[in-house]
Amino acid sequence: MHRKPRLQGRPLWNVPSDEIYGQGHLACPGCGAAISMRLALKALGRRTIIVLPACCFSVIDGPFPCSAAGVPVLHCAFETAGASAAGVRAALAARGDDETLVMAWAGDGGTYDIGFQALSAAAERNEDILFVCYDNEAYMNTGIQRSGATPMSAWTATTPAYPGKAEPKKDLAAIMIAHRIPYFATACPTYVDDFLMKFRKARAMRGFRMIHVFSPCAPGWQVAEAETIALGHLAVRARVFPLLEAEEGGRVRRLNVDPPPLPVADYLRRQGRFKHLKDGDVKAVQAEVDRRWEELTARCERPARLDGRAPRKWRLPSFERLQGPRRLV
Ligand SMILES: Cc1ncc(C[n+]2csc(CCOP(=O)(O)OP(=O)(O)O)c2C)c(N)n1
Ligand code: SF4
Ligand SMILES: [Mg+2]
């Protein structure tokens, strides 16, 4: 029997109770990617095939022949998620199946960098697939190497100890919207209602759809496992990870959440990967965040409800009341 998911003892009523991504997976506790997969499949349903390039999720899913997914999974080479998912969709179409959703589920390395060629080609051909990038901002599975998604100043195993990564994060939204795809969205598992809405919407559409998911990683970000949800709040409120949608090839662009902003320092100072930053470095990150926000909002609609607060029944504990970060490494 499935039980309704609960948050702080209260049921999340509009979260489907079907647990498609099962227990027994191999993710670290608090893994943002695992939480997101659980939610995503609740919205997408069982008629889904997952295509996994090499990434943490290839391990999370379990060693062959075991799999924690309640749906078929195809493991493919690191650089081929876009092409492999398109191939699976074509094979289904040849069998007369137009309903099964094919979802490529790639890390940021498999999206921003090594998987980008196959992703861009699939987007350009408007393949009928959903491509999800769970973004933990480094190559975590192989020991926290820097990727094109690693933010400016962050520590990784392949960046200078000080001042961290010199280059800013690639602007994935701008790059993908420039492909004029039917749907692009960003999502964060802290904002459960917004997250489910975007996956449901993508499920109902046809053509190339992409969702970019904020995915905290405790060992890679040097935070406590229990911080995942609070970090989602902070990232959105500090405007580090804006929640947005672009439809109709980018003609319609919408900001989904626009709460009163917090200083980016509130987000950075909770994470060990930014602990080397001096006040001047934090100011530089703030300037970059502000610049991107201006650029983004100049082209976005702002719907009526933008206060960033979930409806009362889903309200999360205030992050100010959560414990400070615990050093893990
Ligand atoms: C062609 C190729 N190069 C390198 C690897 C080794 N490799 C496997 S997973 C991985 C890191 C993946 O990073 P990302 O896509 O960000 O996912 P994450 O591990 O962070 O979840 C690397 C480098 C590989 N499997 N194939
Ligand atoms: S290393 Fe990070 S992304 Fe990988 S399973 Fe652990 S928490 Fe998740
Ligand atoms: Mg990664």
Distance from Cα 256 to the centre of ligand 1, integer Å: 31
In a domain, 12, yes or no: no
Domain span at 301: 26-321
Looking at residue 18, what is its pLDDT?
87
In a domain, 1, yes or no: no
Q: Where are the alpha helices (DSSP H) in 95-171?
A: 116-124
What does the radius of gyration of the chain's CA atoms come to, in whole angstroms? Answer: 19
Q: Is 219 in the pocket of ligand 2 (CB under 6 A)?
A: yes
CATH of the domain at 105: 3.40.50.970
The answer to whether 131 and 81 are in contact (CB under 8 A) is: yes
Average pLDDT, rounded, for the chain: 90
Atom of ligand 1 nearest to the CA of 217: 20
Looking at residue 314, what is its pLDDT?
36
pTM of this prediction exceeds 0.85: yes
Q: What is the mean predicted confidence (pLDDT) over 131-139?
A: 98
Atom of ligand 1 nearest to the CA of 113: 15
Ligand nearest to the CA of 113: 1
Q: Is 319 in the pocket of ligand 1 (CB under 6 A)?
A: no
Give 179-206 pLDDT, tens digit per residue: 999 999 999 999 988 899 899 999 999 9
Distance from Cα 184 to the centre of ligand 1, integer Å: 24
Three-class SS state of 85: helix
- 47-51, 219-223, 264-268, 310-314: least confidently modelled range: 310-314
Question: CA torsion sign, 155 to 161 to 162 to 164?
Answer: negative
In a domain, 285, yes or no: yes
In a domain, 108, yes or no: yes
In a domain, 242, yes or no: yes
> What's the domain count of the chain?
1
CA–chain centroid gap for 133, Å, is 6
Enumerate helices (H) and strands (E) in the chain, giving the number of each.
Answer: 10, 10
Distance from Cα 79 to the centre of ligand 1, integer Å: 9
Q: Is 137 in the pocket of ligand 1 (CB under 6 A)?
A: no
**In this predicted model, which residue has the larger pLDDT, 236 or 301?**
236
In a domain, 6, yes or no: no
pLDDT bucket at 301, cuts 50 / 70 / 90: confident
Distance from Cα 297 to the centre of ligand 3, integer Å: 27
In a domain, 183, yes or no: yes
Tokens representing 90 are: 């074509």
Cα distance between residue 289 and residue 241, in whole Å: 9
